[in-house]
Amino acid sequence: MSDYKNIDSYLEKNLDQSLAELSRYVAQPSISAQNIGLRECAQLVKEMLEARGFKAEVMPTEGAPVVFAERKGKSDKTLLIYNHYDVQPPEPLELWESPPFEPAIRGGKMYGRGVSDDKGHLMARLHAIDSILETEGDLPCNIKFIIEGEEETASVHLHDFIRNHKEKLSADACIWEFGGVDHRGVPMQYLGLRGICYVELSVESLGTDVHSGLGGSIFPNAAWRLVWALNSLKGPDERIRIPGFYDDVKQPSKRDRELMEALPDAAEEYKSRYGVKEFIKGLKGGIDLKMEEVFTPTCTICGITSGYQGPGSKTVQPARASAKVDFRLVPDQKPDTVLKQLRAHLDAEGFNDVQIEFLGGEAAARTDPDDPFVKLVVKTSEEVFEMPMQLVPTVGGSGPNYPFVHDLNLPVATAGLGYPDTKAHAPNENIRIDLYLKHARHMARVIKEFAK
Amino acid sequence: MSDYKNIDSYLEKNLDQSLAELSRYVAQPSISAQNIGLRECAQLVKEMLEARGFKAEVMPTEGAPVVFAERKGKSDKTLLIYNHYDVQPPEPLELWESPPFEPAIRGGKMYGRGVSDDKGHLMARLHAIDSILETEGDLPCNIKFIIEGEEETASVHLHDFIRNHKEKLSADACIWEFGGVDHRGVPMQYLGLRGICYVELSVESLGTDVHSGLGGSIFPNAAWRLVWALNSLKGPDERIRIPGFYDDVKQPSKRDRELMEALPDAAEEYKSRYGVKEFIKGLKGGIDLKMEEVFTPTCTICGITSGYQGPGSKTVQPARASAKVDFRLVPDQKPDTVLKQLRAHLDAEGFNDVQIEFLGGEAAARTDPDDPFVKLVVKTSEEVFEMPMQLVPTVGGSGPNYPFVHDLNLPVATAGLGYPDTKAHAPNENIRIDLYLKHARHMARVIKEFAK
CATH class given for the domain over A195-249+296-362: alpha beta
CB-CB neighbors (< 8 A) of B306 in chain A: 301, 303-304
Instruction: Please list, in sequence order, all residues whose beta carbon lies within 8 angstroms of the beta carbon of residue B433, skipping any fewer than 6 positions away.
Output: B15, B19, B105, B108, B109, B110
Looking at chain B, the whole-number percentage of residues with pLDDT higher than 90 is: 90
Q: Which of helix, strand or coil describes residue A421?
A: coil
Give the CA count within 13 Å in the CB-facing half-sphere of B25. 30
The residue of chain A with its CA nearest to that of B360 is: A313
Look at B307 and A301 and tell me if their CB atoms are within 8 Å: yes
Of B200, B299, B426, the CB nearest to A208: B426
Instruction: Please list, in sequence order, all residues whose beta carbon lies within 8 angstroms of the beta carbon of residue A103, skipping any fewer than 6 positions away.
Output: A22, A23, A26, A27, A110, A111, A112, A115
CB-CB neighbors (< 8 A) of A357 in chain B: none
Of A214, A328, A425, the CB nearest to B216: A328
Give the CA count within 13 Å in the CB-facing half-sphere of A136. 20
Give mean pLDDT, residues B46-71. 98
Among A31, A265, A291, A315, pick the best mutation site for testing chain B contact (most B Cβ within 10 A). Answer: A315
Cα–Cα distance between B87 and B309 in angstroms, integer?
27
CB-CB neighbors (< 8 A) of B210 in chain A: 274, 426
CB-CB neighbors (< 8 A) of B326 in chain A: 212, 216, 313, 315
CB-CB neighbors (< 8 A) of A305 in chain B: 304-305, 309
Cα–Cα distance between B384 and B375 in angstroms, integer?
15
What is the separation of C-alpha A88 from the centre of its chain, rounded to a whole number of angstroms? Answer: 10
Of A196, A200, A308, the CB nearest to B302: A308
Closest CA to B322 of B347, B359, B297, B350: B359
| Mean pLDDT, chain B, whole residue set | 96
Look at B316 and A303 and tell me if their CB atoms are within 8 Å: yes
Least confident of A167-171, A310-314, B78-82, B293-297: A310-314
* DSSP label of A415: -
pLDDT at B2: 52
The sign of the CA dihedral B384, B388, B392, B393 is positive
Among B196, B209, B212, B238, pick the best mutation site for testing chain A contact (most A Cβ within 10 A). Answer: B212
Please give the radius of gyration of chain B, using alpha carbons only, rounded to the nearest integer: 23
Cα–Cα distance between B398 and A415 in angstroms, integer?
62
What is the separation of C-alpha A433 from the centre of its chain, rounded to a whole number of angstroms? Answer: 21
pLDDT at B215: 85
Q: Burial level of A328, CB count in 10 A (0-12/13-18/19+)?
A: buried
> Which strand (E) or helix (H) includes residue A432?
strand A430-432
> Which strand (E) or helix (H) includes residue A56?
strand A55-59
| List of E strands, A74-231 | 78-84, 104-106, 109-111, 142-148, 173-175, 180-181, 187-190, 192-193, 195-204, 210-211
Residue B1 has pLDDT above 80, yes or no: no
> Which strand (E) or helix (H) includes residue A6?
helix A5-13
Among A203, A302, A328, A353, pick the best mutation site for testing chain B contact (most B Cβ within 10 A). Answer: A302
Of B275, B293, B323, the CB nearest to A217: B293
CA dihedral B433, B439, B442, B447 (to 10 degrees): -130
Q: How many cross-chain Cβ pairs, A to B, lie less than 8 Å apart?
A: 304
Residue B136 has pLDDT above 50, yes or no: yes
Q: Where are the domains of chain B?
A: 2-193+365-451, 195-249+296-362
Among B314, B394, B421, B429, pick the best mutation site for testing chain A contact (most A Cβ within 10 A). Answer: B314
Of A89, A214, A299, the CB nearest to B396: A214
pLDDT at A388: 96
Name the stretches of chain A with pLDDT < 50.
1
Distance from CA of A159 to the nearest CA of B (A): 18
* DSSP label of B235: -
Distance from CA of B36 to the nearest CA of A (A): 11
Distance from CA of A21 to the nearest CA of B (A): 27
Contact A412, A101 (CB under 8 A): no
Contact A284, A265 (CB under 8 A): no
pLDDT at B183: 85
3-state helix, strand, coil in chain B (%, to 5): 40, 25, 40
The sign of the CA dihedral B239, B242, B243, B244 is negative
Altogether, the residues listed in chain B come to a count of: 452
CA dihedral A274, A280, A285, A286 (to 10 degrees): -130
φ/ψ region of B398 (left if φ > 0, alpha if ψ in -120 to 50, else beta) reads: beta
Cα–Cα distance between A37 and A25 in angstroms, integer?
12
The residue of chain B with its CA nearest to that of A360 is: B313
User: φ, ψ for residue A306 (rounded to 5)?
Assistant: -170, 140
Full-model pTM:
0.84
DSSP letters of A282-350? G--SHHHHHHHHHHS-EEEEEEEEEE--SSS---EE-SEEEEEEEEEE-TT--HHHHHHHHHHHHHHTT
Assigned architecture for domain B2-193+365-451: 3-Layer(aba) Sandwich (3.40)
User: φ, ψ for residue B105 (rounded to 5)?
Assistant: -105, 125
The residue of chain A with its CA nearest to that of B228 is: A231
CB-CB neighbors (< 8 A) of B426 in chain A: 208-211
Residue type for position B147: I
Instruction: Please list, in sequence order, all residues whose beta carbon lies within 8 angstroms of the beta carbon of residue B107, skipping any fewer than 6 positions away.
Output: none
